[in-house]
Amino acid sequence: MDKKKTVNLDMKQYGMVLVLIAVFVIFAIMTGGKNLSPANINNLIMQNGYVVILAVGMLLCVLTGNVDLGVGSIVALCGATVGILLVDYKVNMWIAIAAALLIGLLCGMFSGFFISKLGVPPFIVTLATMLMGRGATYTMLQAQTKGPLPTNYTFIGAGFLPTIKIPFGDGTLDLVCIIVAAVASVLIVASELKNINTKKKYGFATNPVWQVAIKEVVILFIVWAFFYKLARYNGIPFVLVVMGFLVALYQFITSKTVAGRQIYALGGNRKAAQLSGINTDKVFFWVYTNMGILCAVAGIVLSARNAAATPKAGDQFEMDAIASCYIGGAAVAGGSGTIMGAVVGAFIMGILNNGMSLYGWSTDIQKIVKGAVLLGAVTVDLLSKRKKG
């Protein structure tokens, strides 16, 4: 028998998750556990759904070594489209949604065209779409808020999946949440076991059993705590479904598909990617087109949650999305970063916002803290890489 190869878990990989937990615990102490309430956990999801959706798309832009500044404006533009169609023209909800997605797609293709075909730097192109999109939104809405939007539409942003509630303690417990948590647990453990088996099959080093066990226990604890809180409130918000689906989809695209690999190669070394048969213009085009579609999704979720389309909607969302990617460990030069990192980054920002609001800090102070966190996270990341190199 050959000796079993083992290697310690790379803690750096989980560094930001630990920060996330730490921030959450700090606010739990500061607010006397207010942020742990079922209603607040639910709020966290509903308030940050759109940031996560945008961060996922933004990560692809960041992987190419660029950003999309037009995100917030396109979100507002797509929201306005829905608002006008639903309130003024009373069209079918699905047609309004399709129209918003189309607008998002066209905006994305517009940026993509200038970036890939004409070679204009993305920073400039999206700075322009930021101004143009915002202007178009104000013009369309005549600087007025359009609302209220019908309830069948607001379900997207504020609704819940069907529940099976049973009395529990001093409230109720939703069994659907518990079932979802159970299924998720089985899947998580199964995928870890499969992962270990694959590693053994190929003779790769595996992590020590106790470390894997701790990791799994922590993950399962978070999953169960999270779904328990949701179960005590109103069940699973529809936004969580949208978010979960998109995160899973993009995690798959970036890690397991040729298209995803091409984005990383392009970001790492554009010339080498070109000479390896990668059509870099095409990659750029689709990355920005994709961002446009996700802006539309975020615009729909946001307007549904607010039950209205406002011209100021989505202001500075691009900054939140960009910050999420960088806090999540993506490289400014491109070529490195993960979807899960961006999601964790988005939640760190979200938990900060939420916790500071609960604690009673003004939005002015919140901005200072968020800026400091972004700067701190990226600085620590850079320093730790430098030490290693």
Partner 1 sequence: MSDNILEMNHITKEFSGVKALDDVNLKVKRGEIHALCGENGAGKSTLMNVLSGVYTYGSYSGDIVYNGEVCKFHSIKESEAKGIVIIHQELALSPNLSVAENVFLGNEQTTVKGVIDWTETRKRAQEMLQRVGLGDEDVNVPISTLGVGKQQLIEIAKAMAKKVELLILDEPTAALNDEESKQLLEIMLELKKQGITCIIISHKLNEISYVSDSITVIRDGHTIETLEKGKDDFSEDRIIKGMVGRELTNRYPEREGVKIGDTIFELQNWNVYHPDDANRQMIKDVNLQVRAGEVVGLAGLMGAGRTELAMSVFGRSYGQKISGTVKINGKEVHLKSVKDAIDNKLAYVSEDRKTYGLVLIDDIKRNMTMAALRNFFSKKGVVNGNDEIVSAEEYKKRINIKANSIEQVVGSLSGGNQQKVVLAKWMLTQPDVLILDEPTRGIDVGAKYEIYCVINELAKAGKAVIVISSEMQEIIGTCDRVYVINEGAIAGELTKEEVSQERIMQCIMAHNRKGE
Interface residues with partner 1 (CB under 8 A) are: 198, 202, 256-259, 261, 264-265, 268-269, 271-279, 331, 335-336
Q: How far is CA 63 from CA 67, 189, 207, 254, 342, in A?
A: 9, 30, 29, 10, 11
Q: Report CA dihedral (360, 362, 363, 368) to the nearest 10 degrees.
A: -100
Residue closer to partner 1, measured from CB, 215 or 261: 261
Residue 271 has which token pair?
Answer: 């010339």
| Smallest distance from partner 1 to CB 189, Å | 21
* Cβ neighbourhood burial of 209 (10 Å; 0-12, 13-18, 19+): exposed
CA distance 326 to 359: 26
Report, in Å, the least distance between residue 64 CB and partner 1. 13
Q: What's the closest the beta carbon of residue 250 comes to partner 1, in angstroms?
A: 14
Tell the smallest beta-carbon distance from residue 284 to partner 1 (Å). 16
Q: 206 pairs with which residues across the strands?
A: 6
Token pair in block for residue 301: 């979720």
8 Å CB contact between 103 and 83: no
Q: Which is nearer to partner 1, 90 or 271 (CB)?
A: 271
Q: How far is the CB of 249 from partner 1 (least distance, A)?
A: 13
Min. distance of Cβ 337 from partner 1 in angstroms? 11
CA distance 143 to 289: 27
> Which whole-number Å values give the CA distances from 297 to 99, 246, 328, in the listed order?
11, 10, 22
Give the containing element (helix H, strand E) for 124: helix 122-141
DSSP 359: H
Smaller CB separation from partner 1, 197 or 363: 197
CA dist., res. 12 & res. 169, Å (int): 40
Can you tell me whether residue 276 is helix, strand or coil?
coil
Residue closer to partner 1, measured from CB, 200 or 312: 200
Q: Which is nearer to partner 1, 176 or 325 (CB)?
A: 325
Q: How far is the CB of 244 from partner 1 (least distance, A)?
A: 20
CA 171, distance to chain mean position in Å, is 31
Contacts of residue 214, Cβ cutoff 8 Å, sequence gap at least 6: none
Q: What's at 143, amino acid-wise?
A: A
**Nearer to partner 1 among residue 73 and residue 262 (C-beta):** 262
Question: 256 or 312, CB closer to partner 1?
Answer: 256
Q: What is the closest distance, in whole angstroms, from the C-beta atom of residue 272 to partner 1 in the complex? A: 6
| Cβ closest to partner 1, residue 134 vs residue 270 | 270
